[in-house]
Amino acid sequence: MTRLRHLPRYALCLSLLAGAPAVHAEQSPPAEAADKGENKSEQRAPLIERSDLEASALERQLAASEQQQLDAAGTTFLALWRPANDPAPMGAVILVPGDDESADAPPTVGPLRRKLPDAGWHSLSLTLPDPQGANLPVRLAEPAANGDGKAAQPAVEKAPEPAAPVPVPANDAPSPDAEAARAAHVERVFARIDAGIAFAGQQQAKVVVLLGHGSGAYWAARYIAERKPANVTHLVLVDTRQPEGFDAPFNDLLAQLTAKVGDFYYRDSASARQAALARKQLSQRQKQPALVQISLDALPGNPDVAQEQLFRRLRGWLDKHAGGAK
């Protein structure tokens, strides 16, 4: 009798346990659907370009008087400006940094933009958009500057090795989307150089010199070759390199130039010497006496001396070929 009296209680418990999974199963789908709906409603914010982050850091480090927000086809970007320390400026030098550099990067762009005003030249250093190559370079981090404008921990300069272009197999041609991205990148770079030249014109610069460092030399040369600006007749190339993902040979661009060219290269590197020789032979075949080559020593253990060497050689070229001599 005792067992029979407890049977309804056991049956009730069993029925409750059997019904719990069914209730949970009925309630779970709406909760999961709500979670999915929330995830769909969330949109990932676009990533900020690395060049913009570096420009923001420079804005915090440098004096406001050096900063210029220029407009490039509706997009603003940071340029670093220093007027000439001379009542009668010679002109303006617009610096185009390489893909791995900011507008104030050591060991070349930053020191040059600070030294040129003492030689009677305005300096304007541009910020370029992020590169579009497959293997993106690591940009140089700029240490905070001291009161005298020098970096607290200057980077050690080493003998540069121009990057060899990576051949693209015939059966692995770039996709149309990649080609469109490259073309858009070219237009963005050209728009920023346009803005720099327009700003130099507003400063009444008598002479405008375009100076490109590393892959920036490629962009400066390509800009002059394709746009042919009437007010830019002087080009300086420093340690010329081919940007990743752009296979138009640099010498093809050089063949289209009518500007006076100062070609600065580091003779410590065998590949740099060979590339410089090829540029020289091209200019000789085309009877282009406007190309002047200047060899430099890398001096990896003494960056201050290396920077001063480049500045003095550049100043000598400007004095002789860009009307800088008084």
In the predicted structure, residue 164 carries a pLDDT above the cut 50:
no
In the predicted structure, residue 268 carries a pLDDT above the cut 60:
yes
What is the three-class DSSP state of 33? Answer: helix
| DSSP string over 70-94 | EEETTEEEEEEEE--SSSS--EEEE
pLDDT of 168: 46
Instruction: Name the token pair of 73.
Output: 């086809």
In the predicted structure, residue 158 carries a pLDDT above the cut 70:
no
Mean pLDDT, residues 49-63 taken together: 92
- Return the top range by mean pLDDT from 60-69, 154-163, 250-259: 60-69
- Structural domain includes residue 112: yes
Which three-class secondary structure string do you get for 152-187?
CCCCCCCCCCCCCCCCCCCCCCCCHHHHHHHHHHHH
| DSSP string over 100-158 | T--TT-TTTHHHHHHHGGGGTEEEEEEPPPPP-SSSPPPPPPPPPB-TTS-BSSPPPP-
Contacts of 282-289 with CB under 8 Å at 24 or more apart are 282/251, 282/254, 282/255, 283/254, 286/255, 288/257, 288/261
- Structural domain includes residue 143: no
- Structural domain includes residue 7: no
In the predicted structure, residue 207 carries a pLDDT above the cut 60:
yes
Digit-coded pLDDT (tens) for 165-197: 444 444 455 567 888 899 999 999 999 999 999
Helices 215-227/176-202 angle, 10° precision: 80
- Structural domain includes residue 226: yes
- Of residues 100 and 79, which shows the higher confidence score? 79
Instruction: Name the least confident of 88-102, 159-173, 184-198, 254-268.
Output: 159-173
At 30, the pLDDT band (50, 70, 90 cuts) reads: low
pLDDT of 157: 41
- Of residues 325 and 299, which shows the higher confidence score? 299
At 49, the pLDDT band (50, 70, 90 cuts) reads: confident
d(CA 317, CA 237): 12
Q: Which domain holds residue 313?
A: 64-133+152-163+177-321
pLDDT of 118: 97
pLDDT of 245: 83
- Of residues 187 and 45, which shows the higher confidence score? 187
Q: What is the dihedral of CA 95, 100, 106, 111, to 10 degrees?
A: 0
Residue among 84, 58, 112, 104 at smallest CA distance from 200:
84
Residue among 108, 107, 106, 109 at smallest CA distance from 94:
109
- Are the beta carbons of 126 and 69 closer than 8 angstroms? no
Percent of the chain with pLDDT over 70: 71
What is the three-class DSSP state of 269? Answer: coil
In the predicted structure, residue 35 carries a pLDDT above the cut 90:
no
- Structural domain includes residue 262: yes
Number of folded domains in the chain?
A: 1
C-alpha 191 chain-centroid distance: 14
What separation in angstroms does the CA of 65 have from each of 59, 80, 103, 119?
10, 9, 15, 20
Question: For residue 181, what is the domain's CATH number?
Answer: 3.40.50.1820
Mean pLDDT, residues 282-311 taken together: 90
pLDDT of 246: 86
Mean pLDDT, residues 247-262 taken together: 89
pLDDT of 156: 40
Mean pLDDT, residues 81-105 taken together: 96
At 154, the pLDDT band (50, 70, 90 cuts) reads: very low
d(CA 36, CA 40): 6
The dihedral region occupied by 188, where left means phi > 0, alpha psi between -120 and 50, and beta the remainder, is alpha
Instruction: Name the least confident of 21-35, 41-55, 56-70, 178-192.
Output: 21-35
- Structural domain includes residue 204: yes
- Are the beta carbons of 255 and 281 closer than 8 angstroms? no
- Structural domain includes residue 206: yes
In the predicted structure, residue 325 carries a pLDDT above the cut 80:
no
Mean predicted lDDT score pLDDT of the chain: 81
pLDDT of 19: 54
- Structural domain includes residue 269: yes
